Each structure stands twice: as C-alpha cells, then as structure tokens.
C-alpha cells in the first residue's frame, strides 16, 4: 500500500482543444466550503445558474441546467431522452464529434442516416435537404463547432430544413458556446449541449444543456422509458425544477465554479467576448503566416477558438508539441483520425484567448521551428 505526496500540478498555458485555463476567481470558487444539495442557499444559487445559462445560450427554455457530467454526458442526455428504438435520426458528420453522435444514436436504437462532409469542411444545407427528402426523421443532429477540425457550420438553414421535415433540431455547442455567436431561440434549436471547459473557461465536469418545450414534451410522452436513470430528464426536472425532489447529489463545488464562470461571461458581455475571440484568432493567423503556417479548415468557416494549424512537411509534429509543453509550459492538441500528424490544434478559448498568450505561443513556435 503506497501513500503518495500531495499533488502540485505545474502551471500550464492551456492552448489545446480544452480544458482552457480558468480565471483565478473561478478556481477559488471551487475551494468554497461545501453545502448540502438541498440547502436553501445552494438552491438559490442553482436558480442563478439557470438564469445565467439561459442568457449565455440566448434562450427562454425553462429546462436549461448543467448535467452532472462532462460534455459527452450532455450529448448522451439529449439523445437518450429524445430517441426511442426505431426512430429515424439524421446525424451530420464532419469530424470526431459527429461520429460520436452517430455511435450514441445507434446505442439508443435509432435508425441513423449519416450526412457526411470531408473533415475540415462544413455540412452544407443541401446535403441535409437531400437526406430529409422522402423521410420522416425525428431528429437532425449537428455539431456547430467541430473541435477535431476547426470548422464552424452555419446552423440556421439546416435548422429550417429540419423543422420543415417535422424533425427536432439538436446542436452540439461544446466548443462554440461563449466563444462565438450561439443563439438557441433565434436559430430554433430544440436540444443543445455544451461543456464547461472550453470557452466558458470553467474546469471540466458539467455539461450545460437546454431543451425547448417541444423537446421536453417529446421526452415526457415517450412510449418507452429513458434507457439512462442518471440522465432521465423526467426525474432531473424534479430536482432542477420547482419541486426539488432528490435525484442524485449535485456536484456542489463544480456548480460554484460554473456560477462564477457564467458571471464573468455576462460581465464581459457576450458580443465583446465573441469579438475578443475573433481578434486573438486573427492575431494568430497573421503570426502564423510569418512562420509559413496556415489553417487547414475550410476558408470562411474557420473557428476562432480552435485553430487547425498545418504541420509543415517533414516536421516532427509530436516533437514540437512535446517541446512546447516541456520548455514553454504550453499545451496544444494533436490532430485526430485522418488529421493525425497533419495539424496542431491550437485553442484560444475563454481565459486562454488573449493577445499576450498568442504572442507567447508564436515566439515559442518561432524558436522551435526556426531555431532547431
């Protein structure tokens, strides 16, 4: 039996696909003394979280709250509540996270129709139009910002097509929320999930979600029981709604952190925050040019918060990442799937999205690529 020393993590600049760095006040909120999950003071704070989440999602949906798991649990929450065996589901796939949705929809017993675009490109509305034609899909699922490729797919037309076909529209905003425009009610989205550790700049561990009244009704009127007990909205609504019926013990400290992170976002202002993300992205792109580097994802649809930086021919992709981490304490991400070895994924999310960090990263890259 071995007892280890207390763990003292090194200080890193997190410029990968998430987690991003958290603001000092978010980290100190985590260390606040614990409350019970039914304490009136905690319940009051839950109401404030719901209210602020609605502002950040730009929605009036009552059923807006953080699921007690990471972003992937938010994805699972949406699918298990809305899908029943045999349902027709259209899943748009242009990267890892679209594939993941298709995998999950199949586990829910859905008949999955895949709409695919090459990795790095966006999903085109015509593709979805073609897929719904002659079908009665229950749901169309789309990843807004593909973290694996850095592509940002416009949502509005696809949502219109989905609703025109009578389907619910589901959106993954894990990487987009808090970093660029997300307008749940304006875009008529029925189910949305996100994660705390990207542009909300809160540690990973919660998954903000929101269901439209129509989506909630779909979950309430199912013929079969929700296959997950932990994620069943029909029970979760008893705890996060007005009844306050015990379901599971909410992650108290993580909710403290989310409360503070949402506060900081609204204090900064949504549009100011999006513009900050755009500016640091443009600064990065300019700097990369002088290094002869570009962005691999589709022109005109490149994410500000996650940059797929091309690895020059003959460069040791993993070696550069290792040196960034060990010599400069900077974390960037590797490419996934077909993009493995071909891109570095440079995140400029939330707290990490600052001009000084872009400059520091560019200096480090210059030293590594030109100096070695």
Judged by CB under 8 A, the chain residues 116 through 175 that form the site for a copy of itself are none
Binding positions for a copy of itself, 34-53, rule CB under 8 A: 34-37, 39-42, 45, 48, 51-52
Which range binds a copy of itself by CB under 8 A, 180-188, 260-268, 310-318, 359-367?
260-268
Binding residues among 180-239 for a copy of itself as defined by CB under 8 A:
195, 197, 203-205, 225-230
- Applying CB under 8 A, among 50, 138, 144, 259 the residue interacting with a copy of itself is 259
Write down the least CB distance from residue 269 to a copy of itself, Å.
10
14 binds a copy of itself (CB under 8 A): yes
Does 371 interact with a copy of itself (rule: CB under 8 A)? no
In whole angstroms, the minimum distance from the beta carbon of 369 to a copy of itself comes to 22
Please identify, using beta-carbon distances, which residue of 159 and 197 lies nearer to a copy of itself: 197
| Min CB(30)–a copy of itself separation in Å | 4
Nearer to a copy of itself (CB atom), residue 31 or residue 223: 31
Query: Considering beta carbons, is residue 147 or 218 the nearer one to a copy of itself?
Result: 147
Closest approach, Cβ 38 to a copy of itself, in A, equals: 8
CB of 276 to a copy of itself, least distance (A): 18
Residue whose token pair is 């960034």: 324
Minimum CB–partner distance for residue 55 and a copy of itself (Å):
5
* Of 70, 62, 83, 37, residue with least CA distance to 228: 83
Which one, of 136, 118, 120, 116, lies nearest residue 128 by Cα? 116
The rounded distance, in Å, linking the Cα atoms of 197 and 333 is: 15
Q: Which of 43, 62, 72, 125 binds a copy of itself (CB under 8 A)?
A: 72
Run of H or E including 143: strand 139-143
Output b/e per residue, 317-354; b: 16+ Cβ within 10 A.
beebbebbbeebebbbbbbbeebeebbbbbbbbbbbbb
Binds a copy of itself (CB under 8 A): choice among 16, 66, 178, 179 = 16
List, as one string, the DSSP characters of 56-100.
HHT---SEEEEESS-HHHHHHHHHHHH--TT-EEEEEESSHHHHH
Radius of gyration of the chain (CA): 21
Contact 148, 175 (CB under 8 A): no
Q: Identify which of 273, 259, 272 has the alpha carbon closest to the alpha carbon of residue 178.
A: 273
Shortest distance, position 75 Cβ to a copy of itself, whole Å? 8
Output the smallest distance, CB 76 to a copy of itself, in A: 5
Q: How many residues bind a copy of itself (CB under 8 A)?
A: 83
Residue 9 Cβ, how far from a copy of itself at the closest point, in Å? 5
Tokens of 62: 């009552």
Between residue 302 and residue 361, which ones bind a copy of itself under the rule CB under 8 A?
325, 331, 336
Residue 301: both structure tokens together: 């649809």
Which is closer to a copy of itself, CB of 210 or CB of 298?
210
Q: Taking Cα atoms as reference points, which of 207, 254, 213 lies closest to residue 231?
A: 207
Is 3 a residue that touches a copy of itself (CB under 8 A)? yes
Enumerate residues 266-295 that contact a copy of itself by CB under 8 A: 266-267
User: Are 75 and 171 spatial neighbours (Cβ–Cβ below 8 Å)?
Assistant: no
Residue of 53, 57, 66, 69 interacting with a copy of itself (CB under 8 A): 69
Q: How far is CA 30 from CA 15, 52, 322, in A?
A: 22, 18, 30
In residues, how long is the chain?
A: 372
Question: Which three-class secondary structure string do you get for 330-343?
Answer: EECEECCHHHCCCE
Q: Which of 43, 113, 252, 367 binds a copy of itself (CB under 8 A)?
A: 252
């Amino acid at each position: 039996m071995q007892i280890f020393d207390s763990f003292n993590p090194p200080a890193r600049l997190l410029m990968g696909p998430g987690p991003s760095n958290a603001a000092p006040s978010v980290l100190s909120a985590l260390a606040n003394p614990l409350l019970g999950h039914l304490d009136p003071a905690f319940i009051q704070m839950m109401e404030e979280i719901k209210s602020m989440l609605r502002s950040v999602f730009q929605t009036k949906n009552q059923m807006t709250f953080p699921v007690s798991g990471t972003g992937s649990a938010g994805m699972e929450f949406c699918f298990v509540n809305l899908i029943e065996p045999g349902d027709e589901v259209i899943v748009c796939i242009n990267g890892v996270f679209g594939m993941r949705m298709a995998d999950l929809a199949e586990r829910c017993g859905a008949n999955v129709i895949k709409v695919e675009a090459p990795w790095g490109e966006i999903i085109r509305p015509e593709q979805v139009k073609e897929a719904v034609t002659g079908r009665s899909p229950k749901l169309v699922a789309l990843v807004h910002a593909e973290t694996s490729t850095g592509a940002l797919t416009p949502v509005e037309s696809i949502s219109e097509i989905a609703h025109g076909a009578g389907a619910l529209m589901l959106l993954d905003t894990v990487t987009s929320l808090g970093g660029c425009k997300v307008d749940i009610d304006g875009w008529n989205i029925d189910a949305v999930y996100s994660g705390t550790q990207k542009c909300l700049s809160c540690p990973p561990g919660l998954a903000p979600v929101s269901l439209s009244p129509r989506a909630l009704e779909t979950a309430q009127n199912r013929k079969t029981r929700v296959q997950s007990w932990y994620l069943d909205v029909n029970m979760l609504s008893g705890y996060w709604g007005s009844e306050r019926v015990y379901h599971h013990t909410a992650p108290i400290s993580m909710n403290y952190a989310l409360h503070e992170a949402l506060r900081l976002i609204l204090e900064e202002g949504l549009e100011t925050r999006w513009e900050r993300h755009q500016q640091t992205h443009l600064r990065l792109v300019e700097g990369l040019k002088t290094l002869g580097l570009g962005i691999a994802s589709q022109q005109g649809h490149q994410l500000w918060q996650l940059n797929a930086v091309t690895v020059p021919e003959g460069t040791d992709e993993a070696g550069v990442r290792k040196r960034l981490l060990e010599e400069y304490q900077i974390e960037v991400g590797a490419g996934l799937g077909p993009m493995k070895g071909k891109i570095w994924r440079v995140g400029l999310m939330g707290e990490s999205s600052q001009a000084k960090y872009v400059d520091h990263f560019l200096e480090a890259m210059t030293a590594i690529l030109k100096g070695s």
